[in-house]
């Protein structure tokens, strides 16, 4: 769990550019920023997993698929309902919180999988 939490902090906060963060939540032109952001998650997860538990390399691919799905769902909400910080939408921080909770639950679930099969 610690490994995937470190991965999440690095990929979601340290390495995510504003082009990725803003672009992936747009109505149009979201695909490339979203893909770039999620490929960063894939790369960081793959490196860390290969160092710590190489037989679970495929977990990085599962994390990628779930991350891109969660972030696209968040982007659809942001774009279609105007749930942005600029709009001072009352659900903006709730949407961020749900997004982050889903990412952490993903890490938790994948950690349980690796621990149970390790």
Per-residue model confidence as pLDDT tens digits over 73-114: 999 999 999 998 888 889 999 999 999 999 999 999 999 999
pLDDT, the chain, mean? 96
To the nearest 10°, the Cα dihedral for 69, 74, 77, 78? Answer: -140
Q: What is the token pair recorded at 72?
A: 């696209």
CA gap 76, 47 in Å, rounded: 30
Reduce the DSSP state of residue 104 to 3 states and report it. helix
pTM for the whole structure: 0.94
Confidence at residue 86, expressed as pLDDT on a 0 to 100 scale? 85
pLDDT band with cut points at 50, 70 and 90 for residue 42: very high
Q: What is the mean pLDDT of residues 16-44?
A: 97
Confidence at residue 84, expressed as pLDDT on a 0 to 100 scale? 87
The answer to whether the CB of 46 falls within 8 A of the CB of 60 is yes
Q: What is the mean pLDDT of residues 4-8?
A: 96
CA gap 92, 110 in Å, rounded: 27
Name the H helices within 53-91.
58-81
Confidence at residue 50, expressed as pLDDT on a 0 to 100 scale? 97
User: What percentage of the chain reaches a pLDDT higher than 70?
Assistant: 100
């Amino acid at each position: 769990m610690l490994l995937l939490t470190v991965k999440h902090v690095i990929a979601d906060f340290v390495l995510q550019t504003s082009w990725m963060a803003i672009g992936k939540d747009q109505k149009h032109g979201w695909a490339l920023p979203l893909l770039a952001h999620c490929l960063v998650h894939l790369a960081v997860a793959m490196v860390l997993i290969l160092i710590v538990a190489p037989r679970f390399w495929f977990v990085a691919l599962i994390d990628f698929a779930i991350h891109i799905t969660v972030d696209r769902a968040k982007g659809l909400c942001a774009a279609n309902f105007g749930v942005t910080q600029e709009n001072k939408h009352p659900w903006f921080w709730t949407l961020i919180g749900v997004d982050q909770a889903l990412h952490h639950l993903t890490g938790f679930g994948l950690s349980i999988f690796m621990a149970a099969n390790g």
